[in-house]
A and B are shown apart, each in its own frame.
Chain A
Amino acid sequence: MGLRKLALLGAAIASAGVIVATAAQAQNEQFIPGLVYRTGAYAPNGIPFADGVRDYITMLNERDGGINGVKITFEECETGYATDRGVECYERLKGKGPTGAAYFSPLSTGITFALTEKAPGDKVPLITMGYGRSESRDGAVFEWNFPLLGTYWTAANVAVQHIAKEIGGLDKLKGKKIALLYHDSPYGKEPIAALEAMSKKYGFEFLPIPVPAPGSEQKSQWLQIRQQRPDYVLLWGWGVMNSAAVTEAGNVNYPRDKMIGVWWSGAEPDVVPAGDKGAGYKALMLQHPAGKSAVYADLEKYVIGPGKSLAKPDEIGSVLYNRGLINSMLGTESIRTAMAKFGNKPMTGEQVRWGIEHLDLTADRIKQLGFEGMIGPIKVSCSDHEGTRLSRVHQWDGKKWNVISDWYTADDSILAPMVKETAAKYATEKKITPRDCSKES
């Protein structure tokens, strides 16, 4: 017993120290937590994203002194992509700062699922930009979830549209065979429902092939692909699984330009390890390309130049670093939107939620923020927590990503009924009464 008490005491002292430190801070601060993974099997993808998130916030603090005069405090917590560690980080960080955490972006579908259960009780919104539950776009049921910029169902639909365009029209899809090589987790399984619905509608054959996590071993899956000879392979991987898939495709000589990755399989760490074998590989874009937009001028001046960034030089301007910047930009712009209604003071989670739900970035505003060419206009509402359903495709030429398509818009006639049905099922299971979006202001 003695040791148990001692251990509890130790933890209590440690947490008490944290609490005291928090209380001593100034009251005019907005706290933004960062759930990151800089270690483990997914670190190559987790690090550039985390650096992007961090650098944009640092830039706002250095250049503008925060948001409308409210300084931002930021703290990271390492999750290692593990759900239970993510939950612990969330519990540790949600109450920090004078008004608690503004929003969480866990960058893990598993952690998102777990936090979806906790966020409504704690009144903290979740910004899951391009991941998480696809049906959480229905804000009537998922009041606190914001899968901004795109869900996996949007991605699946755009991928099929691109294939159709390459082969000459949606009617040509009939009789074609499309395989989905996916990470065997909720993340990888998300697009299956949408692809099955489209395979019924367009008449292509759909072949799901699971890869057990973390996905570094894919010999048997590629043997199956060689036997089945699908016309296209969609890749839904993360971390080491992506580069392993591209390498393996090279080994069995499957044409790389017939492979289309989701936006989480379309960054530099996914193709660089594959070397020459990666050339020709295509991936969806979460709207934004690699490269530097106008905002980099200020980033260089206030963050990277003075050495305040943790990012390595080759990370800067990479796909995932840009995505981190956009994640922070959407989050802080939502706080700004909330401030316009509630006043220039630190916002509570509830007020930030209102801010995200009323986020409206026009093309002009995006240009002003320095993100022109990165994302299209986005307008979030109670009934649509995704805000936009646009995507593009880029291709790796062995050295860099080149944008090869125009903007696609996902076909909502297929997706909207699916979202409605799945969200309703969730509402019955959890005994939630959906909000009436026509009455929300």
Chain B
Amino acid sequence: MFYREAGQFKVSYAADQAVFPIAQDRIAMLALLLIAFLVVPFVASEYVYRAVLIPVVILSLAAIGLNVLMGYCGQVSLGSGAFMAVGAYAAYNFAIRLPFLNPFVCILLGGFVAAGVGIAFGVPSLRIKGFYLACATLAAQFFADWAFLRIKWFTNYTPSGSINAPPLEILGVDLSSPTANYIVCLVFTVVLAIATKNIVRGHIGRQWMAIRDMDIAAEIIGVQPMYAKLTAFAVSSFLIGVAGGLWAFVYLGSWEPAAFSIDRSFQLMFMIIIGGLGSILGSVLGAAFIVLLPIFLNQALPPFGALFGWRISTATVSHFEAMIFGALIIFFLIVEPHGLARLWSVAKEKLRLWPFPH
């Protein structure tokens, strides 16, 4: 009824190949962005910013980065935490060694350093695949943990090995308020997500998908595996590195390598598996799901238990959280292996026929 594309004629190739070929999608997306930029800042409380919105926005960016590598190029990676760490520590080192640089410039530069490191750890992907590649990227994870714990230079010789982000500002404007933090992260994520969406639709993205679907066939039709795989590692690590910089500078403010441990790598992987491999939208949905579910369970269980006169202690809540979370992940993998993004596209198909299905 509302979601019908009848009457929307495409008269040019450009219109036919637009990111959102259907007008309703364009309007919905625009409305969502307007809400995110203009409405949310007036209604969100500080808690919602700090505990919900900022982590979701930053981790969405990291999930998009991992999705480029795993979802689009088919290269399994367990090193996302390491690339986040590289982005964060590189940004920190730029900030303290070149103090005239704006912190956000440092975050972007950190992304480029992460891209370089990503390429270096992507080289083994030319020879190995699947689980073996996962092991190789796991090495990146342990190497980063080791390097940022042991090499004192990276942490500017602080006695405890924990480092602090510089104050956030642009042209003398203080950006430490939660609203400003949120807007900054949102700008980074939206701009980079749009860029990534366009890259994956272009010739590079098609090469990645060709490699993902069958690398030998792709090679035969003229795709260079080395170029395709290494660009995927570079773009992916850049996005993850920028997300790492934002996580450290904006969300944590002070951090240690444990903030980017193997748990973070797995968390990002769950996000794109639950959200949907090979989908930008899926990355955002997955990030929102993984960040919100524990918080929601944590807050909802005690009142829920109180309804039945059952007093739930904080320990029980946290046990329940782990159990429900695990059960949901298994449920999703069985019922919808293509993730939340697939659920959404099924809903869209149904909506097109609604209310008069065949």
Contacts and interface: CB of A to CB of B under 8 A. Distances in A.
The 5 closest A-B pairs by CB, nearest first: A117-B253, A38-B315, A186-B160, A193-B159, A186-B162
Given A1-B28, A88-B295, A117 B254 contact: yes
B347 A2 contact: yes
Determine the interface band of chain B, counting residues with CB < 8 A from chain A: 35 or more
A47 B162 CA distance: 26
B160 A1 contact: no
A213 B258 CA distance: 9
Interface string B44-65: 0111101110010000000000
B344 A84 contact: no
A8 B166 CA distance: 31
A114 interface: yes
Interface in B159-173: 159-162, 164-167
Contacts of A322: none
25 contacts: A1-B32, A2-B344, A3-B340, A8-B292, A11-B295, A11-B296, A14-B299, A15-B45, A15-B48, A17-B303, A43-B315, A78-B298, A83-B256, A83-B258, A87-B51, A88-B50, A92-B47, A109-B160, A110-B162, A117-B165, A117-B253, A133-B160, A185-B161, A422-B159, A430-B166
A189 B160 contact: yes
Interface in A204-260: 210, 213
Contacts of A193: 159
Interface in B20-50: 28, 32, 45-48, 50
B164 A11 contact: no
B313 interface: yes
A421 to B, nearest CB: 10
Interface string B9-28: 00000000000000000001
B42 to A, nearest CB: 14
B319 interface: yes
Contact of B314 (A38, A116, A429): A38
A114 B315 contact: no
A78 B314 contact: yes
B258 A185 contact: yes
A177 interface: no
Contacts of B313: 38, 310
Interface in A60-99: 76-78, 80, 83-84, 87-88, 91-92, 95
A221 to B, nearest CB: 15
A10 interface: yes
Contacts of B333: none
B49 to A, nearest CB: 8
B198 interface: no
B296 A185 contact: no
Interface of B: 28, 32, 45-48, 50-52, 55, 96, 149, 159-162, 164-167, 176, 251-256, 258-259, 281, 284-285, 288-289, 292, 295-296, 298-300, 303, 313-315, 317-319, 340, 343-344, 347
Interface string A420-435: 0010001001110000
A341 interface: no
A19 B44 CA distance: 13
A430 B288 contact: no
A39 B288 contact: no
A190 B159 contact: yes
A114 B47 contact: no
Nearest to A187: B160
A118 interface: yes
Interface of A: 1-4, 7-8, 10-12, 14-15, 17-19, 36, 38-39, 43, 47, 76-78, 80, 83-84, 87-88, 91-92, 95, 109-110, 113-114, 116-118, 121, 133-134, 184-187, 189-190, 192-193, 210, 213, 310, 422, 426, 429-431
B317 A186 contact: no
Contacts of A109: 160
B63 to A, nearest CB: 13
Contacts of A110: 162, 256, 258
A110 B257 CA distance: 10
Contacts of B55: 84
A113 B344 contact: no
Contact of B167 (A91, A310, A431): A431
Given A83-B259, A87-B251, A193-B159, 11 more contacts: A1-B344, A2-B344, A11-B292, A84-B252, A87-B50, A113-B254, A113-B255, A117-B164, A117-B254, A213-B258, A310-B313
Contact of A11 (B48, B252, B315): B48
Contact of A3 (B160, B285, B296, B317): B285
Contacts of A80: 318
Given A3-B340, A213-B258, A12 B160 contact: no
Contact of A38 (B149, B161, B318, B343): B318
B161 A189 contact: yes
A429 B28 contact: no
Contact of A426 (B52, B164, B289, B292): B164
A109 B303 CA distance: 31
Contacts of B299: 14-15, 17-18, 92
A210 to B, nearest CB: 8
A84 B284 CA distance: 19
Contacts of A113: 160, 162, 254-256
B51 A91 contact: yes
A10 B292 contact: yes
A18 B47 CA distance: 11
B317 A78 contact: yes
A189 B257 CA distance: 13
Contacts of A47: 315
B318 A8 contact: no
A47 B259 CA distance: 24
B252 A184 contact: no
Contacts of A11: 48, 52, 292, 295-296
A25 B46 CA distance: 21
A118 B167 contact: no
Given A2-B344, A84-B259, A92-B47, A184 B159 contact: no
Contact of A114 (B45, B252, B298, B347): B252
B139 to A, nearest CB: 16
Contacts of B252: 83-84, 87, 114, 117
Contacts of A426: 164
Contacts of B45: 15, 19
B162 A39 contact: no
